[in-house]
Structure formats: C-alpha cells, structure tokens
A = this chain, B = another copy of it.
C-alpha cells in the first residue's frame, strides 16, 4: 500500500478535458460560477463520477458530493474538495486540480479494489472565486454555518441574477441540506499560487493554515487645482500623499517579514485629468500575516503612517477596514497526515502558510482540515498563463490519496 500511486496521465488528461469548458484563446479558462460553461463542466464531472461508480448528491447551494461508500458507511466521510469555477481570466488548475485530484483518488481506489473503512467523497464547492457572486467561498461558507442559506441564494451578479435563480436555471439547485453533517476530514489539493515551492525546488507544500487578511479602503483628500497656475508650495496634492502612503505600506510589509504581505492593488484618482492636481485618491490595502497579533501590529503601523503623512501634507485621510479574515490554523492530525505522506513518498516538502483564501478555510470551522500545495510556474495564478507540471500534480494527488487513506482507514 505504501507504493500505491495515481495515474499521472489520466489526471492530466482529465484536467485538459475540463479546461475545454470555457477555454480562452490564450490557453486559460473563463468558467464563472453558474454560467453555461460551469454547467457544462459540472455535467462532465458528474458523468465521470457516475462512470466511477460514485453516488452524486447536490445540496441547496449546488455543492456536489460524489461518494464512494466505506465499509462502515455511517462514519463521517473523508472528503477531497475544491472548486470548478474560475476567474474571468483564470487558468486550468486553480480549484479544478483539487476536484480532479479527488476524482483520481477515487479512480485509483477502484483500480486497486481498495475498500476504505469510512466513506470517501469528492466535493465541488460552488462559487469559490467570488468573481461572479460576492463574497468568495460563499457555498463552503454556508456549509460551515458562516452565511445563511437565504442570504447566499439571494446574492446577485452584476446583471442582478441571483445565485438561487442561476442554480435552478443550470439544474444544480439540489435538495440536500447545505451543511449540518459531519465530515471525518477535508483535504484540498491546490496549486500554490505563489513562487516558494518552485524557488526552493520542493514538490509538496504542507499547509499548516491560512494567513489572516485585513482589507481596507483608504481615501486621501486634498484639493483639485489646475496643474499650471497652482504653485507647488500651495498645493494639497492627494496623489503625492497617497504615493508616500503606498511606499510606507510597502516598507511596513518588509518590516514584518517573514510572513507579512502588504499590498496596494487598486488606485482611483479623481478627477484623473492630465492637467489637474488630484483632489482625491482612494486606494485599497491588503495586509496579511499568519499570526493575528502581528497582523494587528501591521494594522497599527499602517494607520499611523497614513495619519502622519496626511497631517504632514495637510491632507484629509480616512482608513476604513472593510473585511477581516482571521488567521486559520488547520487540524494538527490532518497536517501530520499530509506531512507524513509526503515524507514517506520521498517528495521534497516544506510546511507553509497559504496566502490565499480557500474553501478549506470555512470547512475547517466544522471539520478537521488540511491542504496540499504543489508548485505552479512562476507562482502565477488568476491568470490565463497559469501552469503546473504533470509530475508535480501527480505527486500532490498521491499525497492526497495517502492522507485520505490514513484518515479513512483501509479495510
């Protein structure tokens, strides 16, 4: 059983097959949640599950569970879950890999006629990306009791179409309750979405948890004025102030290494006219750290720096925190199951903290959870050029197989 491996090429072929649904000319995928492309991808997946003899259930959030019974089928299932939806300019691997690695585990168990003690399942979580319906990870959130079902079904896309209506339209408004049942464990295999494994030539990331994230909207207010006749000495240039703040936020991130990330991703300048001194600038701030206390220190440093620069430049400043996702620590035993499998299989591996959110964050609130990272080229994701190596994907899938077997037990 220690030598048990998955079928590298079958996994790869399934990934490539799935990538045809919503394929983009640049080699990526556009398979937004609950669109026709998502329906086609789901239908394909369900077909594969049925071919593999799995029993498919859909819950009220459209989450799909494909089950392979255990000898003691009353035990809580050990689940491999992730998502099939993508970003608008997404790639072939983010999310999809975790789902199809789960399916490959099932196929491998079938190939070898392995019977598990507890049942095993593959889960597809609806709308992980949040690209069509906000917030992200909404359906795993409902499963975990973070969001109300009615709230979630009522979330609308930019055209005003609700998740409830779109689930019904594509035939994935299931009847099973969303949540309210125990899982023995939840494992999620995923591309790293960062460059660390690639840079260190490691194959497996043993994910111990997820960074805490704090999101802010910052508004800097000065005074619009004509760029020609307004002397430099009398200006209240909101952009010059915002630029200093962006620099300071970057330095604060560096000051709290290792582990800290500080990013300004969005900037809006008003009036954004070539010959007008900007009177108002808004920008986003994204602060991350695996420890809540350090994240709080970064928050304080960021607020102090912005206030000081604003006062120094006679600018108004408003820092509004719009979201806080506390750090997540995964289950010690699930982490150990992943680490042990990677070590036993001889893969180069390291413990790491996920910088991105995943369905596993919410699921970890109601089930013992672990994640497995594999490298992706250049750390790129949310990008049509997202790419991963077939051997690495197979390695991660093999670790998933062994971690699941460790939890489910072999008869």
Q: Which A residues have a C-beta under 8 Å from some C-beta of B?
A: 192-196, 199, 211, 213, 215, 223-234, 237, 239-240, 242-244, 246-247, 250, 253-254, 257-258, 260-267, 269, 272-278, 284, 286, 288, 354-357, 378-383
Contact = CB atoms under 8 A, between A and B. Distances in A.
A190 to B, nearest CB: 10
Contacts of A211: 228
A194 B354 contact: no
Nearest to A239: B264
Best-buried of A195, A263, A284, A354 by chain B (most CB within 10 Å)? A263
A212 to B, nearest CB: 11
Nearest to A136: B275
Nearest to A276: B265
Contact of A354 (B228, B244, B262, B272): B228
Given A267-B269, A267-B272, A276-B382, A262 B232 contact: yes
Nearest to A195: B234
Given A247-B240, A247-B243, A277-B263, A229 B192 contact: yes
Contact of A193 (B228, B264, B286, B379): B228
B266 A274 contact: yes
Best-buried of A237, A242, A260, A262 by chain B (most CB within 10 Å)? A237
A137 to B, nearest CB: 13
Nearest to A248: B243
B228 A261 contact: yes
A244 B264 CA distance: 13
A265 B243 CA distance: 12
Best-buried of A240, A265, A267 by chain B (most CB within 10 Å)? A265
Q: How many copies does the complex hold?
A: 2
A393 B250 CA distance: 49
Contacts of A237: 250, 263
Best-buried of A213, A232, A276 by chain B (most CB within 10 Å)? A232
B277 A265 contact: yes
A290 to B, nearest CB: 11
B272 A266 contact: yes
B284 A226 contact: no
Given A194-B231, A228-B211, A272 B265 contact: yes
Contact of A195 (B231, B261, B355): B231
B253 A246 contact: no
Nearest to A269: B267
Given A247-B243, A276-B382, A229 B356 contact: yes
Contact of A274 (B231, B233, B284, B288): B284
B265 A230 contact: no
28 contacts: A193-B228, A194-B228, A195-B230, A215-B274, A223-B378, A226-B356, A227-B355, A228-B261, A228-B286, A228-B288, A230-B261, A231-B258, A232-B250, A232-B254, A232-B257, A232-B260, A237-B250, A239-B264, A240-B247, A240-B250, A243-B244, A243-B250, A263-B277, A264-B278, A265-B275, A266-B274, A267-B269, A274-B286
Contacts of A224: 380, 383
A90 to B, nearest CB: 12
B247 A232 contact: no
A328 B265 CA distance: 41
